[in-house]
Amino acid sequence: MLHLIIGNTGAGKTTYALQLKAQNKGLIFSIDKWNNTLFFQDKTEGDGVEWILERIERAENMMMDTILQLENAEVDSILDLGLSKFEHREKWRQFAKEHDFKYQIHYLNIDKETRRKRVTKRNQEQGDSFEFEVSAEAFDFMETWFEAPRSEELVGAIVVR
């Protein structure tokens, strides 16, 4: 089973992924952890969104290869990728369909102020779900970047408010 977690910055995706893991004994793919470990040490001030998107694509190609192996071993894959854009979500839905994998959409529909407070707290505490500081500017950018799921995407989805 492929679990696709959708949510904007501060929605609680990583915490939710950890709960799913405890319930399903799956493996979590967290793009924040992958990017922080593999790429962010090499990022320069001049590197923008395209630089990040290119690296996300590379990481996700590796994730797909690993997910194919996990599905053969009947281990759930839990995608903590944000899935901020319709096209990104569609890519993963098509991947699941192409390989005849079951998938479940989980949409964390949390209001902006709650998410902003969570991000501020995470930045200060730097606890288990902390990978890097999310600035107020980055938070505001993600507000414009995120595309809420369309109603047809949510048919059969688990929606958390």
Helices (H), the chain: 13-24, 31-38, 49-72, 86-98, 112-125, 136-145
Contact (CB, 8 A) for 108 and 6: yes
Cα–Cα distance for residue pair 148/153, rounded to 1 Å: 10
Instruction: For domain 2-160, give the CATH number.
Output: 3.40.50.300
- Per-residue model confidence (pLDDT) at position 143: 96
- Per-residue model confidence (pLDDT) at position 31: 93
Contact (CB, 8 A) for 2 and 103: yes
- Per-residue model confidence (pLDDT) at position 147: 98
Going from the first residue of the chain to its last (161 residues), give the mean pLDDT of each consecutive group of 10, the final group possibly shorter.
97 96 95 89 90 94 98 97 96 98 98 97 91 92 96 98 94
- Per-residue model confidence (pLDDT) at position 154: 98
Give the domain ranges of the chain.
2-160
- Per-residue model confidence (pLDDT) at position 50: 92
Compute and round to an integer the Cα radius of gyration of the chain: 15
Cα–Cα distance for residue pair 37/58, rounded to 1 Å: 13
